[in-house]
Structure 1
Amino acid sequence: MDSKEEIKRKFGEHLLKLLKEYGEQDGASASLRKFATRSELEYSNVQRISKGQVDLALTTIVALAKGLGLKPKDLLDFF
């Protein structure tokens, strides 16, 4: 099993990958700030999540998925 730090880092990388894919799908550049607004989360929190600095709560995962238009399980498919 990976360490907590490694899991958070991998999740952050996966989130940025999904954000890039989402931005390409809707024809716009999906900035982290716009994504935070869509997710109804603070920009600074989303920024720290994307850098692997936050141990996420389930409600945050649901909010991030909502901002991407995905199901929460899609965010957890990063191993």
Structure 2
Amino acid sequence: MDWKEETKLNFGNHLLKLLAEYGEKNKVKPSLRQLSVRADLEYSQVQRISKGQVDLALTTIVSLAQGLEVEPSKLLEF
């Protein structure tokens, strides 16, 4: 596995961790579908991101951060 693939997988795992933390904090079941709604992104895109299959644009990172109610920099701490 090259470093790009590893980075995407690590980001996807970190996203899932932050989603779980969001669920605990807000007393809701963590859901990629709900995250996609809150982030105003397509569910299939969020699902592919969580599996490490997508290179992200900066605007996508900001949208995901808004959906998780965290600063965008938090998404890059993996």
List gaps (5 residues or longer) in structure 1.
Answer: none
> What does 1:2-41 align with in structure 2 at a 5 Å threshold?
3-41=3-41
TM-score, normalised relative to structure 1: 0.95
List gaps (5 residues or longer) in structure 2.
Answer: none
> What does 1:39-50 align with in structure 2 at a 5 Å threshold?
39-50=39-50
How many residues align? The count is 77
- Look up the match of 1:63: 63
Query: Residues 25-46 of structure 1: CA distance to partner in whole angstroms, max 9, x if unpaired?
Result: 1011021100100000000000
State the one-letter code of the partner of 2:11. Answer: F
- Look up the match of 1:51: 51
| Greater Cα offset, 41-50 or 29-38 | 29-38
Structural RMSD (CA): 0.8
State the one-letter code of the partner of 2:45. Answer: N
- 1:73 is displaced (CA, Å) by 0.2
Would you identify which runs of 4 or more consecutive aligned residues in structure 1 move more than 4 Å?
none
TM-score, normalised relative to structure 2: 0.96
Any idea what SS the aligned residue of 1:4 has? helix
